[in-house]
Amino acid sequence: MAKKTQAISYMRTSSASSLDGDSETRQKLAIENFAKLHNYEIVGEFWDQAVSGCDDIGDRPEFNAMMDRIESNGVRVVLVESADRLARSVIAQELAVVGMEAKGIQIITSSGQNLTESDDPAKVAMRQMAGVFSQFEKQRLVNKLAAARKRERAKGRKVEGRKSLNETDPTLLKRVRELRRKPRGSGKNATWYKIAKMLEAEGFVNSRGNAYQPHQIKTLHANG
């Protein structure tokens, strides 16, 4: 038996009133039937609720979550019921295709149409124009942010670089200082290793849920 190709399904309902209707069920069934017939294994499902087909792809929470999932797990096929479920607006649709095509992702409808492999000259031209427009907007945003940073720096404000731990979690810094103090009757500070273990036991962990390392705690204390 041939190995199944992994895929992710994407659905969209355009209004709150359709959330209680059969739109999701219909889309889900069409995608699942196509996947079964063509040997795809659906490993993820994303559904943008009450999102207009004309809304920009970048404003869709589930679409963006899907792209994050794709970039992390290597899946390169997205199944949709039809092209208008991706987007009703031709421009929004082509912008989505441009972005996904650039990442090597195929968008396939339940009727078997591969939206990323169109030979239609009009669509190819639209895709090229969409790509140019997208690049223009990206550069415009870069320039706008650069100008804003320059203004903030002129005011003496920090505007670049990742925030330090003492900026993002002042409670952590306070606790590190408390644990580092020499206990009464003792001439020694707690080691950074011991402090890291105590912090972990107290529930202080990083954004990934992992314990802070001794060198991180030492740096936090030194820079705090």
- Whether the Cβ atoms of residue 53 and residue 18 lie closer than 8 Å to each other: no
Task: Beginning with the edge strand found earlier in the chain, give each strand of the sheet holding 40-48 in spatial order.
Answer: 40-48, 5-12, 77-80, 106-109
Residue ranges in 155-169 assigned as alpha helix (H): 165-168
Torsion of CA 13, 15, 20, 21, to 10 degrees: -60
Q: What is the dihedral of CA 100, 105, 109, 114, to 10 degrees?
A: 100
Question: By three-state DSSP, how is residue 202 classified?
Answer: coil
Distance CA 90, CA 95 (A): 8
Tens-binned pLDDT, residue by residue, of the chain (224 aa) = 678 999 999 998 876 444 445 677 889 999 999 999 999 999 999 998 878 777 777 778 888 888 888 887 789 999 999 888 887 777 777 777 877 887 889 999 998 988 887 666 766 676 566 555 556 666 777 777 777 777 877 777 665 555 566 566 778 888 888 888 866 666 678 888 888 888 888 888 877 778 888 888 888 887 76
Q: Indicate the domain borders of the chain.
A: 5-123, 165-223
Torsions phi, psi of 51, nearest 5? -115, 125
CATH number of 5-123: 3.40.50.1390
Contact between residue 212 and residue 205 where contact means Cβ atoms under 8 Å apart: yes
Q: What residue type is 154 in one-letter code? A: A
Contact 109, 83 (CB under 8 A): yes
- The whole-number pLDDT of residue 9 equals 95
> Per-residue DSSP letters for 4-55?
PEEEEEEEE--SGGGGGSSHHHHHHHHHHHHHHHTTEEEEEEEEE-S--TTS
The encoded tokens of residue 60 equal 């869709």
Strands 77-80 and 40-48: unpaired
* pLDDT tens string 54-85: 777 777 888 888 888 888 778 999 999 988 88
